[in-house]
Structure 1
Amino acid sequence: MLKDYGLEGHSWFKRLYKHRVKWSTALNNEYFSACILSSQRSESTNHAIGFQASKTTSVTAFFGIFESTVKRWRSEEERKEFNGIRSTPISVYPLTDLLLHVSQVYIVELFRIFEKEFALAMRTRATILPVDDPLLVYRVQPAVSEEGPHHVTYDCSNQLIECTCRNLQVMGMFCNHIIRVFHMPSVGEITSRYILRRWTKFSKTAVWERLLPSDIRRSVANDAINWHRLMLIATNHLITKCHNVVEARTIFEKLCVKANEEV
């Protein structure tokens, strides 16, 4: 288009073309996006909150809607996390070594995605191609489909694998072509380099472990401030009780001397 319409010298079009990877889905298959489109976040937010509010909703009422929505989200998240960590998802297929490993690592939603790809892999044919290379190259073709074939390159020694569909780069999940190739040498476990932490059952645990040292420092400082404030209040109340009674003042003074020595 730049050439056809003579726009090579147009600064705005040149800048737009320079960043084509960011807006052209045909060119961004090298980058992780989880298959999320730019409008999906706002649409999901509108679906979660917008149906309860309107343009006439007051700020107070909207805050109540927002607060109840957040509580519902957190409750649902805690329930899913509890069930996901302490249970193994049931599959319609026999749990092979690979499926069993995935069920133990991935959250339920991602396991279901993997299960669908696993089913598609059962309907494909894999043919090894003769190449002058230590790597293995497979041609994976759906048995009954108009979709074209894809080529999977597999390095057994280093456990490196790549498919021309680029689903692994975009989604961080294995496509059915790679799963089909894994059946050839009976691979029963996904190597750790291909397991995105964000998809695993223990992703939140890892985040808390990373943040724990800084949180401890902050909590210790906050606890000291709160403790100091509470002790001042408690001591002030005790002094107020004692100030009119000589015997009580004597008891309080002795306790202060003793506490100071022990501290």
Structure 2
Amino acid sequence: MQNLLNLPTPTPGIKGLKSFSDTIESYIRELEGIGRYQKSYGSLLIPLILNKVPCFVRQNITRDHRNDDWDISSLRKAIQKEICIQEADPIETDIIPTASIVTETTHKRWRPTGSEGNEYIHALTTNGLHRIHIILEELNGTLRYADYSIFHVGDESTKYLLNVTGYSGNAGDCLDSDDISGRANGMKFTTKDQDYDRWSLNCAATYKGGWWYSKCDYCDLNGKYGIHGPSWYLDLHGLVKSSTMMITKV
């Protein structure tokens, strides 16, 4: 417990954050190993660490409202996610909101304006080459990622045509899949009142969220949380708990 009181503040940058993560993990394992964590330190451990955690990590840590304790798994997850973001590129990265189990997407009609709209993404990706880094959280809390070295969204005259290639990662190539039924690359953006998918019905109306649908399969990070989404098939095999899309200029 004395070690926690002397927990160092992490130094700036990804190396400092990784070192800080390793340090608190060793303290947590020590407490868990001697069987005192849940009984004696459950409500004390996280607040002590929170005093040292940077604000950009702290804001992503949730509280267990059932017993008013801070959730240790949430702390670990928040630090892991921030490391993923910094590894992508902490400088000049634009984060695009997507649907999640916590924040449900809005089911809107065609409206190409707004800070979260396709017109904004088009403007971001028009000046020079851009890549995209996508962090995906599975239902069991596992974090996966998908990187694409080329990412561009066209303007309204192209119906926000998606150009995305150059996959790498451990989530599976969902956006530029060899399977045409799931491939988002080369598709126009479908909403509930603008249908450009390859399916007989409107995928956006069915899945309750706009996306670059082909035949409604595989990828849909804007779908209403539930049976139909948000989803990222291949290596994740289905539903996604949360996702973060980060666009960076090359």
Relative to the length of structure 2, the TM-score reads 0.24
Query: Counting helix residues as a fraction of each chain, which structure ranks higher?
Result: 1
Q: Compare CA radii of gyration and give the structure with the larger one.
A: 1
Relative to the length of structure 1, the TM-score reads 0.24
